[in-house]
Structure 1
Amino acid sequence: MIDIVEQESIEDSDELYEHHRIVVDKGQALLRIDKFLMDRLPNVTRNKLQGAIRSESVQVNQRPVKVSYKVKPLDMITITLANPPRDTDIVPEDIPLDIIYEDEELLLVNKPAGMVVHPAYNNWTGTLVNALTYYLQNLPTTRNGEGRPGLVHRIDKDTSGLLVIAKSEYSMAFLAKQFFHHTIERTYYALVWGVPKQEQGTIIGNVGRSAKDRRVMAVYPDGEYGKHAVTHYKVLRSFKYVSLVQCNLETGRTHQIRAHMKHLGHPLFSDATYGGDKILQGMPVGSYKTFVENAFRLMPRQALHAKSLGFKHPVTKEAIHFDSELPADFQSVLEKWALYENQ
């Protein structure tokens, strides 16, 4: 992880530390260096990269370059900063876990909203992985041990709900295969703005990072950009201005439900990233405005909960299914909307 965003606050130092060394592939087409690095370094903005290039923190073949430089095959790109690279060792932390099920091979946890799944930039501690490494030892890893103990999937920080953790290498591979072949049953509950025209349907559209804002995922026609994504949805109940929707994932892309529902014209309630933290239905005045703002305060995060998981057990090969209750904030907001509709 490269902490370019921290560079401006570091005290003066004569010593520099190498954070990244990248050798460009033989088949790489000519591409501006800032665009090339944006694809290689997550969570770094283009402005920060350009600043690092101008300050000569980024060098190609041991020489500084301009922002307009186009990388060529076999170029060696180094990034050096005044701060040393962060130690990526995961620190076990005694954080309470809401355990739904556990046996010799599996662990099912109900993740609360606000908890990051695994350590990353700005969230090195307090994550689910920190809690898991304390609760369990010798968890398997993926991606050459990059710090994702036992995890075969994840959910966003402010999404609540079920996650399955593998406790052995065999179970890790067995579960990962089910996710790869889309045979895992994953059901989410979402509160969205408006009422979909069709009570149920399927959203098909590639999900990829927006060209305007890399923190946001956008939906593109299949085959153009991004990764193939399929979401099946069904309206469970409408409250005139919002609807409770069940979403079943066929694929599991980053922000898939959030991006797909916005693409359908129904952003998730209170989802600041995708515009759902504004009053999108009804006149934003008077008592209605006050009511919605109170609901936002009650649930200051996207109204999304990973409600159930179904899969084959790694050892018994039997189909097993787990369900969870909606968390208190989600349930309270639903009750408020139901009361408002009745009044």
Structure 2
Amino acid sequence: MMLPILFEDNHIIVVVKPPGVPSQEDETGDADMLTLLKEDIKQRYNKPGNVFLGLVHRLDRPVGGVMIFAKTSKAASRLSDAVRTRKFGKTYICVVQGTPQAAEAELLHYIRKDAKKNQVAVFEQPAAEAKDAKLSYRVIASSQGHSLVAILLHTGRPHQIRAQMAFIGHPLVGDVKYGRSSGKPQTHASIALWSTSITVPHPISKQDMLFTSMPDDKMAPWSHFTEQQLQQAARWYA
């Protein structure tokens, strides 16, 4: 599988993750981003032995878009620190069912993960073992019963966007796990959520970097909106 490379130097590699590919190896044994990139680097640079590649953040399997990996342990440590100190900015666009009542809002909930079910529960008030989950959103356009929404994450909790948008009554299109058909088994098909940008200081030079990616606007439900609307959604927070 050829993965689109947006940027690469001696310290990091930035790629576009296709929907349906796990970020790292899981119980399915399917090809994952970490393994695919290690093999790619090994072949392109004719590297003997094992290739180091650090996974510093994840995208859910059904989600596509920008991902950054560390090529050295020093870069991995510094990028992980950027995530912890919230210097690692991530923006998304998504298509949700219906139209949120507030055209623009900040959502603060509390999320508790059930590792056995690989699913999270959302609470309005602090709860035992639940962590705060905060995001901002803006509705960009509505069409055919769906809305195009720009998302800025303030925290990076598991399934955060999917769970919070579903909690306010507007699950992501195609999301079986948190959608209205949540009783059905989860599939690995894509959902209408795309990682459109990452902003982060370079782990060595400290220079601010911005990497962007857009979904295929010819594929539903993205095709329900114009290219201009998709670009507007992607640029709002970038």
Q: TM-score scaled to structure 2, two decimals?
A: 0.82
Residues 55-81 of structure 1 deviation map (CA, whole Å, 9 limit, x = unaligned) = xxxxxxxxxxxxxxxxxxxxxxxxxxx
Please say if residues 217 and 255 of structure 1, whose CA atoms lie closer than 8 Å, have aligned partners that are also in contact. yes
Contact 1:139 1:166 in 2 (8 A): no
Decide whether the 8 Å contact of 2:192 with 2:221 is kept in 1: no
Q: Does 1:334 align with 2:222?
A: yes
Aligned residue number for residue 136 of structure 1: 41
Paired with 1:313 and 1:209, the residues of 2 have a C-alpha distance of 31
Instruction: State yes or no: 1:118 paired with 2:24.
Output: yes
Amino acid at match of 2:158: T
Per-residue deviation, 1:268: 0.4
Instruction: Work out whether residues 305 and 326 of structure 1, in 8 Å CA contact, stay in contact via their aligned partners in 2.
Output: yes
* SS state at 1:301 partner: coil
1:173 CA drift (Å): 0.9
209 and 314 in structure 1: CA distance in 2 versus 1, 3 angstrom threshold? closer
- Give % identity: 29
Residue 131 of structure 1, CA deviation:
0.8
Greater relative CO (CA pairs within 8 A, separation 6+): 2
Aligned residues: 213
- The structure with the largest alpha-carbon Rg is 1
In structure 2, runs of 5+ residues without a counterpart are 43-49, 183-188, 227-238
2:9 is the counterpart of 1:103: yes
Alignment gaps of 5+ in structure 1 = 1-94, 141-148, 279-299, 339-343
CA distance in 1, matches of 2:114, 2:75: 35
Residue aligning to 1:259: 163
Distance 1:174 1:204 in 2: 28
Q: Which amino acid aligns with 1:105?
A: H
Deviations 1:16-65 (A, max 9, x none): xxxxxxxxxxxxxxxxxxxxxxxxxxxxxxxxxxxxxxxxxxxxxxxxxx
Let me know the Cα RMSD of the aligned residues: 2.3
Alignment-mate amino acid for residue 208 of structure 2: A
CA distance in structure 2 between the aligned counterparts of 1:337 and 1:131, rounded to whole angstroms: 32
Mapped contact 1:188–1:247 kept (Cα < 8 A): yes
Tell me if the contact between 2:18 and 2:63 (Cα under 8 Å) persists in the aligned partners. Answer: yes
Per-residue CA deviation, residues 68-98 of structure 1 (Å, 9 max, x unaligned), is xxxxxxxxxxxxxxxxxxxxxxxxxxx3221
The residue aligned with 2:139 is 235
Q: Secondary structure at the match of 1:207?
A: strand
Greater share of helix residues, 1 or 2? 1
In the other structure, the counterpart of 1:225 is 129
Deviation at 1:210, TM superposition (A): 5.5
User: 1:139–1:150: 8 Å Cα contact kept in structure 2?
Assistant: no
1:311 corresponds in structure 2 to 200
Give the alignment's TM-score, normalised by structure 1: 0.58
The reply to whether residue 159 of structure 1 matches residue 63 of structure 2 is yes
User: Which of 42, 63, 83 matches 1:179?
Assistant: 83
Distance 2:194 2:225 in 1: 17
Q: Comparing both structures, which one devotes a greater share of its residues to strand?
A: 2
Cα distance in 2 between the residues matched to 1:328 and 1:238: 15
User: Is the CA contact 2:143–2:224 (under 8 Å) kept in the aligned structure 1?
Assistant: no
